[in-house]
Amino acid sequence: MHGPALYTSRRVDGKTRHDYVPRRKGDLAKALVGRHTKLYRARAQIQKLNQELNGILDQIVECRRVGFPESK
């Protein structure tokens, strides 16, 4: 039986590597790739929120900064 083959791809040492997925493991591979994609997107969202939060915290620190009186 011939048909479209299923492969996964990943980066190794700056190059794309393709791995053949046997037909009997196709559903599992698709589920795992879907989970990886979901995790990758969630991580990107967390990084963006963290960057925004750091900016807000920097603003708070700057607003609360108290200068020392100059000596006479």
How do residues 32-52 score in pLDDT, each as one tens digit?
999 999 999 999 999 999 999
Domain ranges across the chain:
24-65
Which DSSP string corresponds to 41-54?
A: HHHHHHHHHHHHHH
- Spatial neighbors of 24 by CB under 8 A, at least 6 apart, are none
pLDDT band at 1; cut points 50, 70, 90: low
Q: Using the CB atoms, write b or e for 16-44: b if 16+ within 10 Å.
A: eeeeebeeeeeeeeeeeeeeeeeeeeeee
pLDDT of residue 26: 95
- Spatial neighbors of 21 by CB under 8 A, at least 6 apart, are 5, 6, 7, 8, 29
2 pLDDT more than 70: no
